[in-house]
Structure formats: C-alpha cells, structure tokens
Structure 1
Amino acid sequence: MNDLGPAPIAAPTLDLDTIRAQFPILAEPIHGKRLAYLDNAATTQKPLAVLHALDDYYRHANANVHRAVHELAARATSRYEGARDRIAAFFSTQREQIVFTRGTTESINIVARCFLLPRLSPGDEVLITGMEHHSNIVPWQLVGAKVVAAPVLDDGSLDLDAWRGLISPRTKLISVVQVSNSLGTINPIADMIAAAKAHGIPVLVDGAQAIAHSRVDLSTLGADFYCGSAHKTFGPTGCGFLWARSEHYESMIPWLGGGDMIRTVSFEHSTWNEVPYKFEAGTPDISGAIGFAASLDWIEQVGLDAIAAHEHELLEYGTAALAQIDGLRMIGTARHKAGILSFVIDQAHPHDVGAILDQDGVAVRTGHHCTMPLMHRFGVPATIRASLAVYNGRDDIDQLATALRKACRLLR
C-alpha cells in the first residue's frame, strides 16, 4: 500500500528470538546492562546478512566500477548494478529511475538544485508541513524559495484542510514527509498527491521513515520524486536513493561534475551521460549500495506485513505502558502513527533523562530531532524519543519504563 496505516487484524507473526539472533550488536552489554536499542528512527542496526554482504564484497570483489575490464572490476560492477536492480524491484520501478545518493538529505538537495532552482522566480513557494525534518526545509531556502508550512494539529496530525488552502499559483513544488521522524504521524500522501496533481504541482515525498515498515509501490504512488536512506532499513550509513519521473531527470541539470557522469569532455564543452549516471559523479559508495540491497532482501524475507503488525502491536503496548508514568506527556498522538514514542517528563530535561536511561542500557534519542519548528509548535525545547524496529519487544518497553521511573525519582 502507498499510505502506511494500522496493521491488519490477521497478520503474519514473527519469531522475535530468531530475528534478534541475526543482530550481533543486540548482545552488546551497555554499562553492564542488557541493551534495549530504541533509537531506530536515527539509525537501525545491521543484520548478519548485511554484514556478510559487505565483508564478501571487500574480500572478493573490491574494485572501482564501470571503468576497467579486469575481473575484480567486473565483479564490483555486477554487484553494484545488481544492487540497483534489486532496489528498483523492491519499489516496483525501473532501474534507471534509481539514482544512488548519500541519503535522503542529499536526494532532496539534488531536487532543490537541479530541478527547482532553474524554475524559480521571485516569490515562488514550496509547500511543506509543520512536521518536516530540517533536510526538507533548508534546501528550499538555500535555492531562494519561500517555504510555506501547513499547521500541525494538537495531536500531531496534519491540518489537511489548511494544507489544501495554502496551495496557490505561487506553489512550485509540494514536499512532504511520509512518516514524521519526531511524532510518528503518518501523512495521507495519496490524498495529498491527488490534490497536488489537480493543480499541476509536482510532489516530493520524503520516505526515510517509511520504507522499512510498509510497502511503497512507486509505480502507482503518483509522486514526482521519492527518496530514502539505507541506514533506516538495516543497511549501511552514507547511502540512499533518489527516484524521479524520467521526464524530470531528463530536464534536470547535473548535480556534480566529474568522472562517470559525462558522455564527452573537451576544454570547450562537455555532454552528459544517460540517467542515472548523469547524477552519479565520481566513485560511488559501492559497498553501501550492495549493503542496501542486502538489507531489502532481509526485509522481504522477514515480511513487511509481519514487520508492520509486530511494530503496531508494540506501539500500542508502549503507549499504554508510558501512560502509567506520572508526569509523562506524549507529544504526538495522531490516530495514524508509526512506531515512534515521543514524550517529555515534568521538571526533567530530556537530555538528563536520556543520560540516566543510558546507564540502564536503554538507548533513546533526546533533542529536537532536526525538527526545531515542530518543537516550537508544541512549546518544548526537545523530546525523549523511543523509536521501534522489528527486533524490539515488550521487554525493551518494560526496560524503558523501569528506567524512566528511576529517572523521575532522581530528577524531581
């Protein structure tokens, strides 16, 4: 499905012990305590399948791609381009529409510089939401667009009527996060894309927090641009992708100049390679792409339906458990949510709480989560964020709740 939503009533189950056994780092003691890793919205841990894929590449195929005829280069090129095929298949799209980037942030910057900037006139606007990550705010400002943000309601959901009312003749692009990294709110992107199309406005979807949790079919979604990061899908850091409609790629100027993105070069004039290589200058993150593909293989083996059902059940359990802690206030209670629990505790700074949790082996994220305007909206400088993944269980939530009660005793 294109919009994430509540888990199905009858969904596949998974064996949590078997899942956890595939993540060696989960057995790592932290300050002598069992690790409860609840910082998955920042980055996920890596299963053995990904670690083995990276190790195998560096042991048996390490070479540069595309530019040699020797055997190691052929192996590297085959695996790198095979990763592109695998990623394209995962998202139901064509391989030439997958451009490898350093991640979601770079992907959005490419759209800002290469697509939007040449089309901008003074006063032109980019319509976003009030829950966007800084990487979906700053790039538009850097190219000179006016950023217009639709308001967020008290429960953390988007004010969709207000959002519709902000679409105007000045709107050159609509850019929206599929799942909020700070609140877990799931935006109705299918409806939003349809509304944008009615006005002839292109849409970018930030899928960083969505792609490891539910199926995204780019052949039917209707977006103009879509992007994500490997490290949110149990893959390596520093690798991600940009997807765009072919006609946009053809009209866009290159992002960087250098090797592999050219067709011809002279001192007077250069011409560009075909897409996707037009946007992949220099030596790419070969191992990152290979690891990314391996992580998607792993996700499919576990099953996206099983992952979604497990995380949904755990979100409900965690919400109920945290509600029993005196002085704890949830930030973000939208009806349609992914596995993120953001909260504050009366009279306690989130950073102090996070430090105490760490001493008890609980890894959470504290801060503004690269969403300063959203923190301002809720009148807080920061939140404590526990974010879930498929290897989390009720024992992690219980460990979190126990450590939070300890923090409350120490900090009040």
Structure 2
Amino acid sequence: MSMPHATDAAAPGPGAQAGVDWGRVRADFPLLYRSVHDHPLVYFDNANTSQKPSAVIEAMDGYYRRFNANVSRAVHQLGSEATEAYEASRKKLAGLLNVRADELVLCSGTTFAINLVAYSWALPRLKPGDVILVSRMEHHANIVPWQLVAERTGATIRVAEINDDGTLDLDALYAAMTPEVKLLAVAHVSNLLGTVNPVRAICREARKRGVVTVVDGSQAVPHRRIDLAAIGCDFYAFTGHKMCGPTGTGALWARREHLQAMPPFIGGGEMIREVSFEGTVFNDPPHKFEAGTPNIAGFVGLGAAVDYLQALGLERIEAREAELLAHLNEELARVDGLRIFGHAPDKAAVVSFLVEGAHAHDLATLLDLEGVAIRSGQHCAHPLLQFYGVAATCRASLAFYNTHEEIDAFVAALRKVRGLLG
C-alpha cells in the first residue's frame, strides 16, 4: 500500500485502535478523488462494484506491458510468466478461503459459477419430483439458473421464507429440507438487506439431510474472513469485482468429488487432454471447466487484490465497516420519513431505504447531482422486494475506504434532496 498523508477525522473506533490509518488506505484508490457534478465524489455503491487500488491497476498494466501471452499453451518465456502469474492468483484465492487450489474453478464471476453448478451438477441429476430449495433473499443469479434447470428436469422450486427483520426463518428452512430436496441455494450475505446468514449451521443441517448446498458469497468475501473448510458447503461462488479486483473475474469452489464427477460445462481449448473424432479425453479439474482463453490480465489483477486485502486484514476490514455502518444508522435515524429494510443483528454495511413521498430513482438521481453515488431499483432481488411490498429501494453500501465525513455529506445531501421533493 502507498503511504500518502491523509486522515479520517472521525473519532477513533475499532479500526483506529488496530493501528490502521484509514485515510492513508483511502489514498490507494485513485477514483475516489474525482469530482461529480462539481461535488467531491461520495461512492456508496460498493455492493454493486468496489473501487480498485492502484496496486490492482498497476498489476494489470504490468501484465500487458511485460508478459502479455496466453496461458498453459506456450513454452516460451512470456507464456511461462503469464501462466505462473495466472496460477499464482488461483493459489492466493485458495489461501484466502482456506481451500485447495485445485478445487477452485476460475471464471467470470458468481453468475457463471452458479450456472456451472446448475448445468454441470444439477441438470444431469435432477428429475421430476425433486425439489430445489431457494431462499427469499437470493440475487437473481441464484434463482434464475435453478428455474431454468427445473424447467428442463421436471424438478420444482421451493422458497425458504424470511422474517420481517430480514433474517432467514431457520426453523421453517430446516423443516422445508424434506427428503425430496436435493439442493439448497442460499446467500452468505444479502445484497439488499445486509443480512449475514449462519451458513455454517445451515450447511451442517443440510448435510445431515443429504442436501447439497450452493452458497453465493459475492457480498461476503470482500468484507470478512471466509473459511470454507469450516463452513462445510458443497459449492461456494464469488465475484472478483466486488473485492477490489477487476470485472470479469471470480471463482467457484467445489468439493473435489463433485468436480471429478461433473461433466464439462463448456467445450473448447485447454479443457482437454486429447481430442479425436472418435471422442475426447478431458483435463483434470479445475481445468476441465476452464475452456478457452481466460481473462488473464483480470486474474493477475485479482491476485493483487487478494494481496491487498490480506495485507490490510479481513478482520480489520470487517471492524472498520461495522464502525461506519453504526455511524450511518445513527445519522439516518434522524432523517424524517425514512424507512430502512432489514434489521438483522450484526448485518453487513448495506442499508436499503426509502424516503416517504420520494421515488427511489428520483432520490438517487438528485443525490447524484450532489456527488453521491448510491444504487436505486430492484437490486436483482424482485422476490425480496415483493415480500416487503415495494417496487424499488435506494441502497447505500459502504466499504472500508469510505469515511465518516462522507456519511455526514451523504446525509446532508439526503436532507437537501428530500426538501426538494417536498
């Protein structure tokens, strides 16, 4: 990390006590210092995508400048250096998650990863009468693939409902794990509510009943220490661009026995050992699932992002974001007519809200004119919004590089905009 001089002037909290100068950390992210509509940028759309530190940008630039070549194909020096850097990123991700590197399939992100499970594990196995159990709070990427597979296999979808505070109804969830349930799809952290699901306990109960578990970790991996060996799921999907890495990167972790039994999802180069017109012998996992030229520069950048997060410390990141969330909640409580969706204890730093008399899109558009970037809309979570009886919400999502001053600026802009909307 670079060491420029900057400070977060807010009162010390857990992060400060850990000896981290968060102002100096923030200076590692060049985009945060631009202006929008003649206002300093306040970027509170981190659940959508995170900003990238200079180390990630420089790593990608370095790949193109120094060793741009395809991976696992050439014996020349550039090809060897590219392959080494690409595979080093796989090992770094494995270390981050406490798993074996040969259990990680590198791919474009969570959406691809879940589709890989849907078409390579579920499609060949499910049959009429089987049930796929999906929680109410899932992102569309953890709903639509299962619907498509259900249509083709005759399986059905069953919904695991939530409580009014945005927590999973665990008693109902466990009761719903009847013998016909073959797969459970559940988010580690809700992208709309910030709810942190007890995935370790959920996966333990699923395992007792012979239910295979698919966990969407997109909103978890960037914000807390993840130990997949302890969680005990069967599949875990996540996205690189939400964890300070480039877009078009991510991975699927799967138990080795699943990867060995699953057929390839996409055919092409690099996923084979031998091809003839009589048949093909496929490569070993995870390469069996990595057909074609990958996003090499992106994964070089993702490796740099892992290094960055590891150096900073996931525990420190989690404490910092909890500190910022507490400040945000305190300030939002003073805004008249504001409704927050999701009040789970120990939630992640995601706040979805509406202001009485203001449409979510109007609110977000006017906030943008004040330099504040938040998300508005349905957040790829239509069934969850239907539960709350609303068509859209605004969402402010924080990251460790945000500041207490930005929270104050956001709330001041919110009050101003609310006045304009009457």
**In 1, Cα distance between the equivalents of 2:17 and 2:212?**
35
Q: 1:50 aligns with which of 50, 56, 64?
A: 56
Hey, what does 1:152 align to over in structure 2? 162
Residue 373 of structure 1 is aligned with which of 379, 383, 387?
383
Aligned match of 1:25: 31
Output the CA distance in 2 between the equivalents of 1:10 and 1:129. Answer: 37
Helix, strand or coil: the match of 1:386? strand
Equivalent residue for 2:395, pick from 360, 371, 385: 385
Work out the CA distance in 2 between the residues paired with 1:380 and 1:11: 41
Counterpart of 2:369 in structure 1 is 359
How many Å separate the matches in 2 of 1:385 and 1:319?
Answer: 13
Cα deviation 1:277-302 (Å, max 9, x = unaligned): 10000001111111111101101111
TM-score with structure 1 setting the length:
0.97
Q: 1:13 to 1:331 in 2, by over 3 A?
A: farther
1:302 equivalent in alignment to 2:312: yes
Answer whether contact 2:138 2:187 (CA < 8 A) is retained. yes
Letter in 1 for 2:328: G
* Deviation (angstroms), 1:336: 2.5
Aligned twin of 1:222: 232
Q: Which runs of 5 or more structure 1 residues have no equivalent in the other structure?
A: 1-6
The answer to whether the Cα contact below 8 Å between 1:125 and 1:147 also exists between their aligned partners in 2 is yes
| Aligned length, in residue pairs | 406
The reply on whether 1:199 has 2:212 as its aligned counterpart is no
TM-score between both structures, scaled by the size of structure 2: 0.94
Following superposition, the deviation at residue 123 of structure 1 comes to: 2.5
Residue among 298, 305, 316 paired with 1:288:
298
**Secondary structure at 1:118 match in 2:** coil
- Distance between the aligned counterparts of 2:302 and 2:376, measured in 1? 27
Tell whether 2:258 aligns with 1:248: yes
Contact 2:108–2:249 (8 Å) recurs in 1:
yes
Find out whether 1:260 has 2:266 as its counterpart. Answer: no
Answer yes or no: is the 8 Å Cα contact 2:50–2:243 preserved in 1.
yes
Q: What is the CA deviation profile of residues 209-253 of structure 1, one whole-angstrom value per residue up to 9, with x for unaligned ones?
A: 001111111222211111111001000001100000000001101
Letter aligned with residue 364 of structure 2: G
Rounded Cα–Cα distance in structure 1 between residues aligned with 2:87 and 2:101? 9
Aligned-partner Cα distance in 1 for 2:19–2:159: 39
In 2, distance between residues paired with 1:10 and 1:65? 42
Query: Per-residue deviation at 1:395?
Result: 1.1
Q: What does residue 94 of structure 1 align with?
A: 100
C-alpha distance in 2, partners of 1:301/1:127? 38
Deviations 1:157-176 (A, max 9, x none): 11111111111111010111
Whether the 8 Å CA contact 1:208–1:229 is kept in 2: the answer is yes
Structure 2 counterpart of 1:140: 146
Aligned to 1:4: none
1:149-202 CA-partner distances (Å, limit 9, x unpaired) = 111111111111111111111101011100000000010111101110110111
Partners of 1:13 and 1:184 lie apart in 2 by 27
> What is the aligned-residue identity percentage?
49
Cα offset, 1:327, TM superposition: 0.6
TM alignment of 1:34-73, pairs within 5 A:
34-73=40-79
Q: Runs of at least 4 residues of structure 1 off by over 3 A?
A: 7-11
Which residue identity does 2:149 align to in structure 1? V
The structure-2 alpha-carbon separation of the partners of 1:338 and 1:141, relative to structure 1 and needing over 3 Å to count, comes to same
* Corresponding residue SS for 2:241: helix
Measured against aligned partners, the alpha-carbon deviations of 1:37-88 in whole angstroms (never above 9, x if no partner) come to: 0000000000011011101111001000111111111111111111111111
Amino acid at match of 1:79: A
SS of residue matched to 2:124: helix
* Unpaired runs of at least 5, structure 2: 1-12
